[in-house]
Amino acid sequence: MTTASSSRPPLARELAQRIAEHIAAEEQDPSFDAAAEANEPLPENRFLDRELSWLAFNQRVLELAEDGTQPLLERLRYLAIFASNLDEFFMVRVAGLKRRIATGLAVTSASGRSPRQVLEAISERAHELTVRHAAVFSDQVQPGLAAEGITLVRWDDLGPEEQERLHKYFRRRIFPVLTPLAVDPAHPFPYISGLSLNLAVVVMNPATGKEHFARVKVPPLLPRFIAVDASGRPSEPERGAPSLDAGPMSFVPLEDVISEHLDHLFPGMDVLEHHTFRVTRNEDVEVEEDDAENLLQAMEKELLRRRFGPPVRLELAAGITPRTRELLVRELGVADEEVYEVPAPLDLTGLNLIADLDRPSLQYPRFVPTTHRQLAEVESATPTDVFAAIRTRDILLHHPYDSFSTSVQTFLQQAAADPQVLAIKQTLYRTSGDSPVVDALIDAAEAGKQVLALVEIKARFDEQANITWARKLEQAGVHVVYGIVGLKTHCKLSLVVRQEPDGLRRYCHIGTGNYNPKTARLYTDLGLLTADPEVGQDLTRLFNQLSGYAPKSRFHRLLVAPRSVRTGLIERIDREAAAARAGLPSGIKIKVNSMVDEDTMDALYRASQAGVPIDLLVRGICALRPGVPGLSETIRVRSILGRFLEHSRVFAFANGISDAGAEVYIGSADLMHRNLDRRVEALVRISDPDQVAELVELLDESMDDGTSSWRLHEDGSWERHHLGPDGPLKDLQSTLIQRQRRRLGMSR
């Protein structure tokens, strides 16, 4: 999949000619050694460790929870996000590293650390962050919530009436679903499922004086925290429930209520001690597709296996007795460095439940996405005629500021209902449980249209949901395929074929985010709606390759992994370096979620050595060292985190011209090996000069010293810059919200 040279924009062709002339002139100079310049070795210690860089990202999340200027319930949400992130890190990254060490497949990382050195460094840093995380909750956020009438209390803090109500609640709602499991010669140590919260209980038979161990699992389908309102009544919180803002509220951890009633589970026994614990297991999924006759069935079997992955972390509530600690460590087979002892309550992912309370004064100001102005203009004349708007010109969407439901979702729903639409082709990587996108595809199939859905059933932790959607789509008559063997399909594409008076026209959407209406309100993503014939031809070829056999497809406005994203980006990086050496304008601006691909980073290092100004906006992992003398002096790296998850990917190259003439791509690919080598990814070139300038301006504003962000130093440390001499720096996401409102005459 290579980019056709004929599709190169005129400005790029002109620049390429000017660079070629400069190189030809240099080659006439006997002192110029092009090979030596290109092959000069780069220092071995040029890369940061990716795992430690990820932990640094999660530390940035924690710093938002520590920030007293953030709304209180949002700080609580950041604590929950930190905990959830760390769970996934252990389940996937740490588990994978341990598996490679155990099988002898682990190799020295690009940072120069041995596998065991990486594991030791992870353990040390993760222990530090876990303690810090617990301290932020207990010392800062919890007292702040109490001052606002929201208290997280233990059983002994409740009054007699509240306790009596919870006694009744336990008997009615909790007791029937509990299952105590004894451990003795007749009952082996039970299997502890990953991420489940458990009680380790020691009881004694008073008749014999003999002690026994038992395990009680805290039911995951019950509310993690039980709300006790001002009247003392226990209730189960719901998002936006008006009654929850009526007055002071207390929340009791579910495990506290269970602990207080252990005598109901072990009648006739004396309860000597009880402690909460939690196990994290290897839950990464591996399917050898070449050996799988049916990928769907193979994935279902692998999901069953996931439940029994080996432990990689054991969390214990502080104060656990040595004998119980020793028993759990021995029976679960974990090493001492894999044990994390922290104050109760464990599993702070459950704090999302409290963060969802309807307390506007303690949350970010309410934000409602608005219809993109080009679509809004058409709506005033012909409601929901997305096709008419796209025929006029390309539409560049920026979610969540531009509404997903009135753009992409409406585009697909209109396509499903329009009798002139003959076919719809769609990729689905992750979507919501009640997806209107899936419903639209089903409606289209039932209306007799040709519908192709490429469902990626290996989307990590969404595998089961995607299997369910695949079967539902198949039952409705949708042609469901699972992509190319050995590759995940991560690109975000929609293609609609419509019969119009002048013939068939193809309408396309290419995005950076999933077709998920829920995350579209929480993630910042970009999308392009276009009827450009070249893009339509590109998507037709790509879908044919995904559903059939077309390995030699060529594209006009797309770069497609695994064959042409890395090479295409490096070609453009090298072009900027050549421009800088020729004394021509140069510059590179990139926004991604993660950057660890060594080939791409080496190209950026060489471009920096040539004098190219390079700005990198990286949300998560960044293994590139900026600001190293002689290596990366012209490279700046920033990171922005906030109320929305920065998720868009943008690649901009100065192209030897002004910003409006830059060559800019958006798409699904991060600069990681998995994206560039093991996934189908698509980047699309933005052709509208106004949209090019808009994206370059967005990147410049993100990198501006007056914008709140974190800055990466050459040693791998990140420093937050959010305060200036005149007060807080500009928050990019808040600025974009206000700008969107002003554009639509909604300034408040």
Q: Kindly report the CATH number assigned to the domain that includes residue 421.
A: 3.30.870.10
Q: Phi then psi for 12, rounded to 5 degrees?
A: -65, -40
For residue 673, pLDDT over 80 is answered with yes
Q: What percent of the chain has pLDDT over 90?
A: 65
Residue with tokens 């199939």: 445
Structure tokens belonging to residue 210: 């003999």
Looking at every residue in the chain, the average pLDDT score rounds to 86
In-domain check, residue 32: yes
pLDDT of 667: 96
For residue 657, pLDDT over 90 is answered with no
Contact of 109 with 115, CB cutoff 8 Å = yes
**Mean pLDDT across 610-617:** 98
pLDDT of 748: 41
234 three-state secondary structure: strand
Task: Answer yes or no: 556 catalytic.
Answer: no
For residue 457, pLDDT over 80 is answered with no
- Domain co-membership, 24 together with 171: no
Q: What is the DSSP letter of 590?
A: E
Report in angstroms the alpha-carbon separations of 600 from 569, 597, 672: 8, 6, 9
Consecutive H or E run containing 741: helix 732-743
Per residue in 348-395, pLDDT (tens digit) is 999 999 999 999 999 999 999 999 989 988 654 555 689 999 999 999
Structure tokens belonging to residue 121: 């460094």
Structure tokens belonging to residue 564: 């042409």
346 three-state secondary structure: coil
Residue ending a domain, among 509, 527, 551, is 551
Hey, what amino acid is at 238?
E
- Domain co-membership, 216 together with 258: yes
For residue 433, pLDDT over 70 is answered with no
Per residue in 288-330, pLDDT (tens digit) is 433 334 544 554 454 455 455 789 999 999 999 999 999 999 9
pLDDT of 609: 97
In-domain check, residue 375: no
For residue 260, pLDDT over 80 is answered with yes
Q: What pairs with residue 712 in β-bridges?
A: 718
Catalytic residue among 490, 509, 556, 647: 490
The rounded distance, in Å, linking the Cα atoms of 359 and 246 is: 10
Contact of 638 with 729, CB cutoff 8 Å = no
> Is the bond preceding 345 in cis, omega lying within 30 degrees of 0?
yes
pLDDT of 3: 35
In-domain check, residue 368: no
688 three-state secondary structure: coil
| Max Cα–Cα distance, the chain, nearest Å | 100
Contact of 631 with 605, CB cutoff 8 Å = yes
pLDDT of 5: 36
Alpha-helical (H) ranges within 382-462 are 386-392, 408-417, 436-446
Q: What is the DSSP letter of 254?
A: H
Residues 6+ apart with CB under 8 A from 78: 61, 62, 64, 65, 70
- Domain co-membership, 447 together with 476: yes
629 three-state secondary structure: coil
Contact of 249 with 238, CB cutoff 8 Å = no
In-domain check, residue 619: yes
Structure tokens belonging to residue 221: 């389908």
Q: What angle do CA 564, 570, 576 make, to 5 degrees?
A: 135
Per residue in 174-195, pLDDT (tens digit) is 999 999 998 876 678 888 888 9
In-domain check, residue 123: yes
Hey, what amino acid is at 556?
H
Q: What is the DSSP letter of 139?
A: I
- Domain co-membership, 347 together with 442: no
pLDDT of 6: 37
Buried b (16+ CB within 10 A) or exposed e, 251-267: bbbbbbbbbbbbeebbe
- Domain co-membership, 455 together with 545: yes
For residue 697, pLDDT over 90 is answered with yes
Per residue in 47-86, pLDDT (tens digit) is 999 999 999 999 999 999 999 999 999 999 999 999 999 9
The rounded distance, in Å, linking the Cα atoms of 362 and 352 is: 14
Q: Phi then psi for 392, rounded to 5 degrees?
A: -70, -45
Consecutive H or E run containing 135: helix 115-135
504 three-state secondary structure: strand
Report in angstroms the alpha-carbon separations of 64 from 93, 475, 644, 676, 711: 24, 46, 13, 31, 15
In-domain check, residue 670: yes
- Domain co-membership, 129 together with 253: yes
- Domain co-membership, 225 together with 353: yes
For residue 434, pLDDT over 90 is answered with no
Tell the burial category of 551 from Cβ atoms under 10 Å away from its Cβ (0-12, 13-18, 19+). exposed
Within a 10 A sphere around the Cβ of 207, how many other Cβ atoms? 8
Q: Give the residue from 572, 563, 574 showing the smallest Cα distance to 682.
A: 563
Considering only residues 691 and 661, tell me which one the structure prediction assigns the higher pLDDT: 691
The rounded distance, in Å, linking the Cα atoms of 422 and 640 is: 42
- Domain co-membership, 392 together with 469: yes
Contact of 619 with 57, CB cutoff 8 Å = yes
Structure tokens belonging to residue 722: 């959010």
The rounded distance, in Å, linking the Cα atoms of 389 and 378 is: 6
Structure tokens belonging to residue 612: 């190219």
In-domain check, residue 369: no
Task: Residue 357: give its domain's CATH number.
Answer: 3.30.1840.10
Residue with tokens 């959010």: 722
Per residue in 101-128, pLDDT (tens digit) is 888 877 888 989 998 999 999 999 999 9
**Mean pLDDT across 644-662:** 84
pLDDT of 18: 61
In-domain check, residue 68: yes
Hey, what amino acid is at 674?
R
**Long-range contact list for 179-188, CB < 8 A, 24+ apart?**
179/216, 179/217, 180/214, 180/215, 180/216, 180/265, 180/266, 181/214, 181/215, 181/216, 181/217, 182/212, 182/213, 182/214, 183/212, 183/213, 183/214, 183/215, 184/212
Considering only residues 38 and 616, tell me which one the structure prediction assigns the higher pLDDT: 616
Residues 6+ apart with CB under 8 A from 364: 71, 74, 643
pLDDT of 339: 97
Q: How many structural domains does the chain have? A: 3
Give the sheet arrangement for strand 197-205, strand by strand: 180-183, 210-217, 197-205, 270-281, 311-317, 339-342
Residues 6+ apart with CB under 8 A from 4: 554, 555, 556
The number of angstroms, rounded, from the C-alpha of 231 to the middle of its chain's C-alpha atoms is 40
For CA atoms 10, 15, 16, 20, give the dihedral sign. positive
Which pLDDT band, with edges at 50, 70 and 90, does 35 fall under? very low
- Domain co-membership, 575 together with 533: no
Which pLDDT band, with edges at 50, 70 and 90, does 90 fall under? very high
Q: What pairs with residue 427 in β-bridges?
A: 454
- Domain co-membership, 231 together with 281: yes
Q: Give the residue from 581, 586, 585, 625 showing the smallest Cα distance to 602.
A: 625
Domain around 701: 5-41+560-743
- Domain co-membership, 25 together with 150: no
Per residue in 462-506, pLDDT (tens digit) is 556 656 767 778 888 888 887 676 788 889 999 999 999 999 999
Q: Reduced to 3 DSSP states, what percent helix, strand and coil does the chain have, rounded to the nearest 5?
A: 40, 25, 35
Residue ending a domain, among 362, 389, 406, is 362
Tell the burial category of 594 from Cβ atoms under 10 Å away from its Cβ (0-12, 13-18, 19+). buried
Q: How many residues does the chain have?
A: 748
598 three-state secondary structure: helix
Considering only residues 470 and 531, tell me which one the structure prediction assigns the higher pLDDT: 531
- Domain co-membership, 540 together with 565: no
Residue ending a domain, among 495, 529, 551, is 551
Strands 679-686 and 523-530: unpaired
The rounded distance, in Å, linking the Cα atoms of 241 and 251 is: 15
Hey, what amino acid is at 495?
L
The rounded distance, in Å, linking the Cα atoms of 450 and 445 is: 6
> Is the bond preceding 237 in cis, omega lying within 30 degrees of 0?
no
Report in angstroms the alpha-carbon separations of 246 from 226, 229, 352, 653: 16, 9, 19, 54
